[in-house]
Amino acid sequence: MTFETSLALLVTAFLFGGMVLFSFAFAAFLFTHLPAPQAGALLRQAFPHFYLGVIVVAAAAALLHVRLDMVSAVLLAGVALSTLPARQLLMPAINRASDAGDRSRFNRLHGLSVAIGVLQILVVGYVLLRGLE
């Protein structure tokens, strides 16, 4: 395996691990160890940074894959690009619904956010598996 391939896979693995850890472990940890209002407030502060990290690392991984595997590069670029509206549009809409006490809208938007995040994790996992072939 070349250095270029190793670096591309390491950056992709970093993205995958970070997404899984933040999405499943960190949020669950907060809600089991803090009162719901505090956990929610902390997550609200953390998510913009998380999304920015996903955008930057997914874009870097995409660039590292360009010469190695164009399919993987396009998939990773898709993760980076799909995170932009999640960060800039969906997250603020979720916060507004929460602030307004609109549980129905919050649940729909949050469900969409979770679905996007799970799909992104699956895509990044697929890219990792492609790289191990």
Each residue's pLDDT tens digit, 73-98: 999 999 999 999 999 999 999 999 99
Domain that holds residue 50: 3-132
Chain centroid, CA 61 distance in Å:
13
Domains in the chain, number? 1
| pLDDT one-digit tens code per residue, 28-62 | 899 999 998 899 899 999 999 999 999 999 999 99
Nearest to 54, CA basis, from 116, 126, 1, 131: 116
